[in-house]
Structure 1
């Protein structure tokens, strides 16, 4: 399926995939308002076996066929404090086991 990919100038790392270039009719107005003026990034021929950076190609294709668009949001931020606490807890447990 040939898809047009747009990036948001308001929301970093947020992309909108639609089936036809410049046809935003399937996209809800509130979403377009928050997304801001779409900026064309690429035209992609997405197939089920296409490897995309963050999302599964089948998820994109299914959403476009069902809803007429796919919205790719940025990955959640990494909670380094939580990771450190988990690591530190494992370190302390390993230290206590050696005693």
Structure 2
């Protein structure tokens, strides 16, 4: 399946995959508002055997076939580090 990937300008490391280029009407309005402006990143031919760095290609394909879009969130490691930094005090960061 041919698909198109967009990067959220509001949410770092968050990507929207679409089954049709620039077909933003298929995503829910609340998701559109959350992601903010999107920047076109990549066009890719995706099949079930293609390996993706942070996603299961079968899940991405299923979402694209059933709803026309797939949301790729940041890897858990990135979120864990960000949460840790938010909880630490300035003294903790200097140690």
Q: How many residues align?
A: 80
Larger of the two Rg values belongs to structure:
1
Q: Does 1:2 find its partner at 2:2?
A: yes
SS in 2 for 1:41: strand
Task: For 1:68 and 1:20, locate their aligned partners in 2 and report how far apart those are by CA, in whole Å.
Answer: 7
> Which residue in 1 is equivalent to 2:61?
61
Task: For 1:67 and 1:2, locate their aligned partners in 2 and report how far apart those are by CA, in whole Å.
Answer: 15
Q: Does 1:44 find its partner at 2:52?
A: no
Q: Does 1:19 find its partner at 2:29?
A: no
Q: Which sections of structure 2, spanning at least 5 residues, go unmatched?
A: 85-95
- Whether the 8 Å contact between 2:20 and 2:68 is mirrored in structure 1 is no
Please state how far the C-alpha of 1:78 moved relative to its aligned partner. 3.7
Q: TM-score normalised to the size of structure 2? A: 0.79
Please state how far the C-alpha of 1:68 moved relative to its aligned partner. 1.2
> RMSD between aligned alpha carbons?
1.4
Q: Which sections of structure 1, spanning at least 5 residues, go unmatched?
A: 82-99
Task: For 2:23 and 2:8, locate their aligned partners in 1 and report how far apart those are by CA, in whole Å.
Answer: 16
Q: TM-score normalised to the size of structure 1? A: 0.76
